């Protein structure tokens, strides 16, 4: 149950599972709430000084509520927007200053309390005319400060914002080339003839590429799936000075005459990511429909009919698939990490013996106790990792902090090798003697790192005097590959109920040997 602090009637704008304070009432702060929402808007009054004073008071109340909650649970606050107010003089700026100060107070509180996430309410309200935001009939009947006709739009928008806070987003963009990343057809127009840069429509494609380059810096993977001659594209990337996106900006590419469904599958396999984490962009309606029909788990948005619509299209891509509340250091490094994965796959082909291949990688594993620097990444992984996730429990960073306060043991795993550093890509969360969560990013799988990680943590717990550990596997549609992972680690199956498996392991009797080609550091 989420608890909402408010000063207007807003119940209908939220789904089941939300409870609400009285109007402008902070006397009750339920301790059993899963999280808290702060949603205060301008009071409908006409004395500008009185309104400004009330808004100042709202900021103080928000700070008081946060001080009572602490940092153990998530709190989300919406900024205040100018929904309705009537200053009588243009030089009366009291209300504007009060709103600006109130919103700034929220941002300052977010710096003090890492569990507070501030959502820009203007992102929602700016879609509508001022006259559409309030329906005075409903305001006077029930003190509803937002037009009830906007209920569905608000719910959809708010759900997306909560997903952003949970750091849920797609991972990968798959692009066609001709008339998608540039104007014209490379095979017909040549390197100098494709339209990129300069006047319209080349300037529209140039801006689109510039926007995509910045998006990739936030951790979104860019790939290419194009029916073209590979040699022509490679030459264009090398010789056309107006192309902003070059070969090095793409983690993988398939430039050939095979069907795009096969190529997209190969790209997903090469990068070791799920098809449901991909978004396919192509100017050809037939190609889009083919992918939709054959790969329904891949998102396929409509491509704009005119180049001048590309920046609006880019904005919708970000908001629908890729926007998150914050970007982690691991996100920023993602392109290099996935490109390194492709290099590892090529390197493995050189070795007949798998162990010799692993030894050649010089694998460095760092097992580190959870701390304020890595907690956001740990929470992000619980929200995003699906395939190698034994229980698929989803947690916020506030919940991870609370687990530590409650005495839970939490470790994360960083992985590096001769091809690069993958950063924090695994974690184990232990409650008492029970493994609550065990997960690893799919991009480090295939090198048996998961066994070295688990055995390292088991060694630590054994060294701390623990005799026995329990664990469970909860099946989902995506984690079938780990259905027998605990058996492979030496755990004994105790029972199974509706697909859920329960295990235990005697640490004194278990084999915790780790291959010597893993170089392990414990912090």
- Same domain, yes or no, for 272 and 149? no
Tell me the C-alpha distance between 355 and 344, whole Å: 14
Whether the pLDDT of residue 355 is over 90: the answer is no
- Among the candidates 322, 343, 377, a domain finishes at 322
Average pLDDT of 74-86? Answer: 91
| Spatial CB neighbours of 134, under 8 Å, sequence gap ≥ 6 | 83, 84, 145, 146, 147
- Among the candidates 128, 144, 165, a domain finishes at 165
Quick one: pLDDT at residue 423? Answer: 87
Average pLDDT of 299-314? Answer: 97
Whether the pLDDT of residue 86 is over 90: the answer is no
Contact predicate 440/413, CB 8 Å: yes
Average pLDDT value for the chain: 92
pLDDT in tens, 210-250: 999 999 999 899 999 999 999 999 999 999 999 999 999 99
Contact predicate 288/282, CB 8 Å: yes
Quick one: pLDDT at residue 295? Answer: 96
Q: How far is CA 156 from CA 13, 124, 132, 400, in A?
A: 10, 10, 18, 27
Percent of the chain scored above 70 by pLDDT? 100
Quick one: pLDDT at residue 477? Answer: 85
- Same domain, yes or no, for 390 and 473? yes
- Domain assignment of residue 328, yes or no: no
Quick one: pLDDT at residue 324? Answer: 87
- Same domain, yes or no, for 315 and 184? yes
Domain that residue 450 falls in? 352-522
Q: 480: buried, middle or exposed (CB in 10 Å: 19+, 13-18, 0-12)?
A: exposed
- Domain assignment of residue 460, yes or no: yes
CATH number at residue 251: 3.40.50.1000
Whether the pLDDT of residue 58 is over 90: the answer is yes
- Same domain, yes or no, for 313 and 234? yes
Tell me the C-alpha distance between 496 and 447, whole Å: 29
Quick one: pLDDT at residue 336? Answer: 76
- Beta-bridge partner residues of 501: 473, 496
- Same domain, yes or no, for 190 and 160? no
Quick one: pLDDT at residue 441? Answer: 87
Q: How far is CA 142 from CA 18, 51, 522, in A?
A: 19, 20, 59
- Same domain, yes or no, for 506 and 400? yes
Whether the pLDDT of residue 433 is over 80: the answer is yes
Contact predicate 273/442, CB 8 Å: yes
Beta strand extents in 162-220 (DSSP E only) = 172-175
Tell me the C-alpha distance between 16 and 52, whole Å: 33
- Give 398 or 173, the one with higher predicted confidence: 173
Contact predicate 179/309, CB 8 Å: no
- Same domain, yes or no, for 26 and 108? yes
Structural domains counted in the chain: 3
Tell me the C-alpha distance between 365 and 417, whole Å: 9
Quick one: pLDDT at residue 27? Answer: 93
- Same domain, yes or no, for 183 and 128? no
Q: Which residues of 94-130 are buried (b: 16+ CB within 10 A; e: fewer)?
A: ebeebbeebbebbeebbeebebbbbbebebbbeeeee
Average pLDDT of 319-336? Answer: 81
CATH number at residue 474: 3.40.630.30
Q: Is the pTM of this model over 0.85?
A: no
- Same domain, yes or no, for 493 and 380? yes
- Same domain, yes or no, for 301 and 254? yes
- Domain assignment of residue 331, yes or no: no
- Domain assignment of residue 433, yes or no: yes
Quick one: pLDDT at residue 271? Answer: 86
Average pLDDT of 41-60? Answer: 92
Quick one: pLDDT at residue 90? Answer: 84
- Domain assignment of residue 473, yes or no: yes
167 confidence band (pLDDT: 50, 70, 90): confident
Q: How far is CA 232 from CA 178, 191, 237, in A?
A: 12, 8, 9
Degrees, nearest 5: CA angle 2-159-378: 75
Average pLDDT of 348-363? Answer: 83
- Domain assignment of residue 407, yes or no: yes
Closest CA to 441 of 322, 279, 296, 333: 333
Whether the pLDDT of residue 411 is over 80: the answer is yes
pLDDT in tens, 11-25: 999 988 899 999 999
- Domain assignment of residue 316, yes or no: yes
Quick one: pLDDT at residue 489? Answer: 94
DSSP 8-state secondary structure symbol assigned to residue 6: E
- Same domain, yes or no, for 183 and 156? no
Closest CA to 415 of 379, 469, 466, 456: 456
Q: How far is CA 302 from CA 288, 305, 308, 494, in A?
A: 8, 9, 15, 50
Q: Which of helix, strand or coil describes residue 5? A: strand
- Domain assignment of residue 238, yes or no: yes
- Among the candidates 137, 165, 193, a domain finishes at 165
- Same domain, yes or no, for 90 and 146? yes
CATH number at residue 112: 3.40.50.1110
- Give 38 or 168, the one with higher predicted confidence: 38
């Amino acid at each position: 149950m989420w608890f909402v602090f408010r000063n207007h009637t807003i119940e209908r704008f939220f789904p089941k599972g939300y409870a609400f304070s009285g109007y402008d009432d902070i006397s009750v702060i339920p301790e059993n709430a899963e999280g808290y929402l702060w949603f205060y808007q301008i009071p409908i009054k006409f004395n500008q000084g009185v309104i400004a004073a009330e808004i100042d008071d709202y900021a103080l109340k928000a700070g008081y509520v946060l001080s009572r909650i602490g940092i153990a649970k998530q709190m989300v606050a919406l900024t205040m927007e100018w929904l309705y107010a009537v200053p009588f003089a243009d030089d009366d700026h009291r209300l504007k200053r009060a709103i600006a100060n109130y919103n700034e107070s929220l941002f300052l509180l977010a710096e003090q309390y890492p569990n507070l996430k501030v959502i820009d309410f203007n992102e929602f309200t700016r879609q509508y005319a001022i006259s559409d935001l309030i329906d005075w009939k409903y305001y006077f009947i029930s003190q509803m400060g937002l037009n009830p006709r906007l209920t569905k739009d608000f719910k959809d928008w708010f759900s997306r914002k909560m997903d952003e806070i949970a750091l849920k987003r797609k991972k990968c963009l798959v692009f066609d080339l001709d008339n998608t990343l540039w104007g014209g057809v490379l095979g017909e127009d040549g390197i100098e003839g494709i339209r990129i840069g300069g006047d319209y429509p080349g300037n529209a494609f140039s801006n689109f590429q510039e926007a995509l380059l910045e998006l990739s810096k936030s951790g979104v993977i860019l790939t290419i799936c194009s029916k073209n001659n590979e040699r022509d594209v490679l030459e264009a990337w090398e010789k056309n000075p107006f192309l902003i996106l070059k070969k090095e900006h793409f983690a993988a590419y398939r430039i050939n005459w095979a069907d795009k469904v096969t190529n997209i599958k190969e790209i997903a396999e090469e990068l070791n990511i799920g098809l449901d984490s991909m978004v396919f962009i192509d100017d050809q309606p037939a190609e889009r429909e083919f992918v939709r029909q054959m790969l329904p788990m891949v998102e396929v948005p409509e491509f704009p009919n005119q180049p001048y619509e590309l920046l609006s299209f880019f904005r919708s891509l970000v908001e629908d698939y890729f926007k998150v509340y914050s970007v982690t250091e691991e996100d920023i490094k993602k392109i290099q990490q996935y490109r390194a994965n492709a290099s590892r796959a090529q390197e493995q082909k050189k070795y007949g013996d798998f162990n010799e291949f692993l030894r050649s990688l010089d694998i460095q594993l760092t097992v580190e106790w959870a701390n304020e620097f890595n907690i956001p990444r740990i929470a992000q992984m619980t929200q995003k990792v699906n395939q190698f996730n034994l229980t698929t429990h989803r947690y916020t960073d506030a919940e991870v902090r609370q687990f530590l306060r409650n005495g839970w043991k939490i470790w994360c795993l960083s992985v590096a090798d001769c091809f690069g550093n993958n950063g924090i890509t695994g974690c184990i969360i232990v409650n008492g003697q029970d493994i609550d969560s065990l997960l690893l990013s799919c991009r480090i799988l295939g090198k048996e790192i998961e066994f070295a990680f688990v055995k390292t943590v088991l060694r630590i717990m054994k060294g701390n005097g623990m005799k026995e550990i329990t664990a469970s596997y909860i099946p989902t549609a995506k984690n079938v590959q780990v259905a027998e992972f605990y058996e492979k680690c030496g755990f004994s199956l105790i029972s199974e109920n509706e697909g859920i498996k329960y295990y235990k392991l005697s640490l004194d009797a278990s084999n915790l040997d780790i291959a010597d080609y893993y170089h392990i550091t414990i912090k």
